[in-house]
Chains A and B, each alone.
Chain A
Amino acid sequence: MNFLKKDTNENKSQAELLYAAQQKKKFVFRRNVLLAWMGLLVFLIFLFSGIEIKSSDNVTGISAWHYETVTENNIDVRKRVEQVLVAIPGGLPNEGVSLKTISVDSEFIQANIDFVAEGIVETIKISALSIILAILLALLAALGRLSTNPVIYALSTFYVSIIRGTPLYLQIFFFFLALPQLNIVLTGLWAGVLALGLNYGAYMSETFRAGISSVSKGQREAATALGMTSAQTMRRIVLPQALRFAIPPMGNDFISMTKDSALVSATGFVHEIMWRATRVGRAEFRNMEALVMAAIFYWIMTLILTSIQSRVETRLAKGDR
C-alpha cells in the first residue's frame, strides 16, 4: 500500500505537489487561527466568570461566587455566595495571594436576556429601512455628482457636504427634537431611519460614484452606437455593472449601520438592543451585565452579516461578471 501511495505521488506533476503543499500550509494556518480564536474566547469567558484563585489557610483553590436572593427579615436581599470549586492541598507558599476575575450577575442576565434580545428585531428593522433609504439617496447623489448640470451637481455635493460635516448623533436629534418646532413630529423610529439613511446615503454616494466611473467609456459608446438613449444606457449597461462593483463596500456600510443604529436609542423611544440594555442596566445598577449582553448580540449579528458578505463576495468573484 505504501508503495502504491508513493507511486501516485510521483505521478503528480511538480506544480500539483507545490499547490497541494501550499493548500496544506494555508489549511494549517487557518486551523491554528481558529484554535487561537477559541483560546481567546475561552479567556474572555474566564475573565467574566467571577472565578477567584486564592490561597488562605494553606489551601489554594479556585472558587466562584454569585448572587443569590435570600429573604432576611421579610426583605429580599441579594447576597454574595461563595463556593470553592477546586482546592489545591498544600497551597501556595505565600499567604494572601488572591486572583479574582470579573464576576457577572448571572441571575440578572437570566432575568433580562429576553427583554434585551427582543431589541434585535427593532435593530434589524431600523437598519433595513435605513439602508434602503441610503441606497436610494446614494444613487441619486452619485448621479448628481456625475451630472453636467451645475445645479444638480451643486445639490448633490451640498447634501454630501452638510451630512458629512455634522455628527450623526446631532442629525438624529435634529430630526427627533428640532423638527417638532416646525410642527413636523417624527416618531423615534422614523427620525432615526431618516437620519441614518441620509447619513449613510451621503457616504455611500461616493461608493456608487466610483462604481459608475469604473464602467469604461467604451461600454457607454457601444450602447450609444446601438441607439440606446442615455437613460437606457444608464439603466441597462452602466448601473448593473456599477452595482456589482459597489456591493462589497455596501456590505461594509450595512454592517456599520447595524451598529450605528444604537445611537437611535438616545431618542428614548426606539426599543432596540441598546435602549433595552441601558434601561435594565440603569434600573438595577447592573450596567456591566446589560452592556455585555448587548455587546454579545451586536457581535453575533455582525459575525453573521460578515459571513454573508464574504459569501456574496466570493460568488461575485467566481462569476467574474
Chain B
Amino acid sequence: MAPIVQVTNLDKYFGHLHVLKDISVDVQPREVVCLIGRSGSGKSTLLRCINFLEDPSHGSIEVDGLKVESSGKGKEHRQLIHDLRLRTGMVFQEFNLFPHMTVLENVIEGPVIVKGMNRKQAIELAEENLESVGMSFKKDEYPLRLSGGQKQRVAIARALTMQPRVMLFDEPTSALDPELIGEVLNVMKKVAKDGMTMLVVTHEMGFAREVADRVIVMSEGQLIEDSKPDDLFKSPKDPRTKALIDRYRTGEQ
C-alpha cells in the first residue's frame, strides 16, 4: 500500500540551530504512529512541519498524494500548503479553542469559512463529531466554561469536522490535570479505531504501548528508533531509548 504521509529528507533550522536532521518517515493509511523523545528532541517541530505551521528548511512533505517541496515559493506554493492543511487536522497541547465562539461555532468554523460548506450541513457534521467525542451536551457553551479535558475533546471534534486524511496530535494531554487525561486518550483511541491515520507526539507511554502501531523515538533532531511498541518497550535497541523508557517507568511509580 502506498504511504499516506511521506516525509522526505527533511531539515529544519532555527537560525543556526539544526533541529531536524535529514528526516524521512513514511506512514501507512490507518496507522497510528507515536513520536516520543525528550523535550527539545524535535518531535513537535517535525509534526508542525507536516502541515507547514513551521516551514521546513529542506526536503518535502507528501500527504495523500499531494507533494509540497520546502523550496516552493509564490502563490502556487501557498495554494499547495493550503490544500495540504485541508488534508491534515491538528490538535494542540493548549487546545486553542476560539474563546469568542460557542463549542458548536468552534467546530463549524472551519468547514463553513474554509471549505464553504453550507451551515446546515456543517452543523449536522459537527453534531455527529461532538456526539462521538461525548461533548454534544455542551455545544452551546463557551470554551471558558469547559474543563481542560472537555476543551481538548472539542478540539478533536473541530479537527475531525474538517474531514482530514491524517490527524496530528501535538502533546494533546500535556496541559491536562492527571484525572482528565483518560477521557482525552479514550476519545483518541476511538478515533484510531474508526480508522483515522494518526501521528501523535506524546509522553503517554501507556497510550503508545496500547494504541500505536509504531513508535518512533527522536533524539537531537534524528530518528533513533522506529519499531512496534512491544519490541520497543521490551527490548529497546538504542541505549538512549532505554534511558528514555526507564525515565518514564520511574516517573510512573
Chain A residues proximal to chain B, CB less than 8 Å: 216, 218-219, 221-229, 232, 236-237, 240-241, 244, 319-321
Question: Contact between A320 and B144 (Cβ–Cβ < 8 Å)?
Answer: yes
CB<8 Å pairs between A and B, sample of 14: A216-B96, A222-B96, A224-B53, A225-B51, A225-B85, A226-B109, A227-B86, A227-B115, A236-B113, A240-B100, A241-B99, A241-B100, A320-B144, A321-B142
* Shortest beta-carbon distance from A318 to chain B in Å: 11
A226 to B113, CA, bound (A): 10
Q: Say whether B94 contacts A218, CB under 8 Å.
A: yes
Apart from A218-B96, A222-B98, A227-B82: 17 A-B pairs, beta carbons within 8 A: A222-B96, A222-B97, A224-B85, A225-B53, A225-B85, A225-B92, A226-B85, A226-B110, A227-B85, A227-B115, A228-B110, A232-B113, A236-B113, A241-B100, A320-B142, A321-B99, A321-B144
Name the contact of B92 in the complex, choosing from A218, A229, A240, A320 (C-beta under 8 A).
A218
- B102 closest partner in A (C-beta): A321
Q: Which partner residue on chain B sits nearest A244 by CB separation? A: B100
Count of residues in B whose CB is under 8 Å from the partner chain: 26
Q: Are A227 and B142 in contact (CB under 8 A)?
A: no
**Is B92 a contact partner of A221 (Cβ separation < 8 A)?**
yes
Residues 51-101 of B at the A interface (beta carbon under 8 Å): 51, 53, 82, 85-86, 88-90, 92, 94, 96-100
Tell me the bound Cα distance from A216 to B99 in angstroms: 11
Residues of B within 8 A of A240 (CB): 100
Q: Does B243 contact A (CB under 8 A)?
A: no
By the criterion CB–CB under 8 Å, are B100 and A321 in contact?
Answer: yes
For the complex, what is the distance from the CA of A241 to the CA of B155, rounded to whole Å? 19
Cβ of A44 to closest chain B Cβ, rounded Å? 44
Q: Are A232 and B114 in contact (CB under 8 A)?
A: yes
Report, nearest first, the 5 A-B pairs whose CB atoms are least far apart: A222-B96, A226-B110, A225-B90, A218-B96, A227-B114
Query: Which residues of chain B have C-beta atoms less than 8 A from A321's C-beta?
Result: 99-100, 142, 144
Q: Taking CB as reference atom, which chain A residue is nearest B99?
A: A321
B156, chain A: closest CB distance, angstroms: 12
Interface secondary structure of A, over-half rule: helix
Contact in complex: A227, B162 (CB < 8 Å)? yes
How long is the Cα–Cα vector from A320 to B98 in the complex, in angstroms? 12
B51, closest chain A residue (CB): A225
Cα distance A241–B82 in the bound complex, in angstroms = 24
Return chain A residues, CB-CB under 8 Å to B114.
226-228, 232
Contact A222 B92 (CB under 8 A): yes
* B108 to A: closest C-beta gap in Å: 11
- With CB as the reference atom, state the residue of chain B lying closest to A220: B96
Query: What are the residues of chain B within 8 A of A224 when measuring CB–CB?
Result: 53, 85
Q: Residues of B contacting A237 with CB < 8 Å?
A: 98
Contacts of B115 in A (CB 8 A): 227
A219 touches B98 (CB 8 A): yes
Residues of the B chain whose Cβ atoms lie less than 8 Å from the Cβ of A222: 90, 92, 96-98, 155
Find chain A residues with CB under 8 A from B92 CB: 218, 221-222, 225
Write out the residue numbers on chain B whose beta carbons fall within 8 Å of the beta carbon of A320: 142, 144
Contacts of B88 in A (CB 8 A): 225
**Complex CA–CA separation, A320 to B144 (angstroms):** 7
Q: Which residue of B is nearest A226, CB measured?
A: B110
Chain B CB within 10 Å — which of A218, A227, A228, A236 has the most?
A: A227
- Expressed in whole angstroms, the Cα–Cα distance for A73 and B159 within the complex equals 94
Determine the residue in chain A with the shortest Cβ distance to B111.
Answer: A226
State A237–B144 Cα separation when bound (angstroms). 16
Instruction: Give the chain B neighbours of A226 by CB distance below 8 A.
Output: 85, 109-110, 114, 158-159, 162
Q: How far is the CA of A222 from the CA of B159 in the complex (A)?
A: 10
Give the residues in chain A near B53, CB-CB below 8 Å.
221, 224-225
Within 8 A of A (CB), among B136-182: 142, 144, 155, 158-159, 162
- A-side contacts of B155, CB under 8 Å: 222
The complex places the Cα of A221 from the Cα of B82 at a distance, in Å, of 13
Query: Distance (Å) between the CB of B87 and the closest chain A CB?
Result: 9
B90 cross-chain contacts in A, Cβ below 8 A: 222, 225
Taking each of A218, A228, A229, A321, which has the highest tally of chain B beta carbons within 10 Å of its own beta carbon? A321
B84 to A, closest residue via Cβ? A227
A221-B53, A320-B142, A321-B142 are known contacts. Are A228 and B96 too (CB-CB below 8 A)?
no
Q: Which partner residue on chain B sits nearest A320 by CB separation?
A: B144
Cα A224 to Cα B162 in complex, Å, equals 13
Contacts of A221 in B (CB 8 A): 53, 92, 96
Minimal Cβ-Cβ distance residue in B for A218: B96
Q: How far is the CB of B200 from chain A (nearest CB, A)?
A: 15
Q: B residues within 8 A CB of A219?
A: 96, 98
Chain A: CB-nearest residue to B142: A321
Which residue on A lies nearest to B143, using beta carbons? Answer: A321
- Complex: A241 Cα to B100 Cα, angstroms: 7
Q: How far is the CA of A218 from the CA of B92 in the complex (A)?
A: 8
Which residues in A have their C-beta under 8 angstroms from that of B109? Answer: 226, 236
Q: How far is the CA of A218 from the CA of B95 in the complex (A)?
A: 8
